Amino acid sequence: MQSHIFPTDLGWMGVAWSDNKLTRITFDHPSAAAATASLETDVAEAEQAGSLPEWIADLVHRLQSYAAGHAERFNDVPLDLTHLSAFQASVVKACRKIGHGKVRTYGELAASAGSPGAARAVGSVMSKNRFPIVVPCHRVVGAGDSLGGFSSRAGVCMKERMLALEGAEQRRVGQGRRGRRPTMSKA
């Protein structure tokens, strides 16, 4: 397994791959060392690549472009989904279809994955997403369009930032534990 660490406007990112399939992405790190440590936590035996395969170099360029605010598509990036059950893989595939600047609720994603009523299970799949940005879990929101959670270092603030970067319409509704809670409307 090989890996590559690189800077972006969303912090340091890292990608890992094996056999022409992506195995992991990490982002929102303050340093290259932090991104490397994050990859090493999840990907055993990842070694820094000397030269990048063309598809990884292209992916790195697109991730940097996305982080700089440009619309990018990642549907063509091959993913290693062997760690997922059939249900989990269907959720990942359905999530990849959510367009730039659009949001779906966990319930809507469950329905589009063929499992209406499985919103909580979808939330669990999204919380363990190994491919953030490429599998755009940041575009999945809670019922009532609350942001829900996000597993980056900056948490929900990063989710809100990414949705704003994509131009998803924002509004403030509802009360959170600490006052007004940010939510996103469906674009």
Tell me the CATH number at 57.
3.30.160
Q: Give pLDDT tens digits for 54-68.
A: 999 999 999 999 999
Q: Using CA atoms, how far apart are residues 162 and 139, in angstroms rounded to an integer?
A: 9
% of the chain exceeding 70 in pLDDT: 84
Look at residue 152 and tell me if it is in a domain.
Answer: yes
175 in the same domain as 100: yes
Helical residues (DSSP H) of the chain, grouped into ranges: 32-42, 54-67, 86-95, 106-112, 119-127, 156-165
pTM: 0.85
Select which of 67, 81, 109, 137 is catalytic: 137
Q: Active site includes 137?
A: yes
Q: What is the pLDDT of residue 155?
A: 83
Domain of 164? 86-184
Number of domains composing the chain = 2
Q: What pLDDT is attached to residue 136? A: 96
- My answer on whether 10 and 58 are in the same domain is yes
Residue 163 φ/ψ, nearest 5 degrees? -65, -40
**Around Cβ 29, how many Cβ atoms within 10 Å?**
23
- The reply to whether 122 and 179 lie within a common domain is yes
Domain-embedded: residue 19:
yes
pLDDT exceeds cutoff 80 at 10? yes
Whether 73 is in a domain gets the answer: no
In a domain, 78, yes or no: no
Q: What is the pLDDT of residue 32?
A: 95
Model pLDDT, residue 44: 57
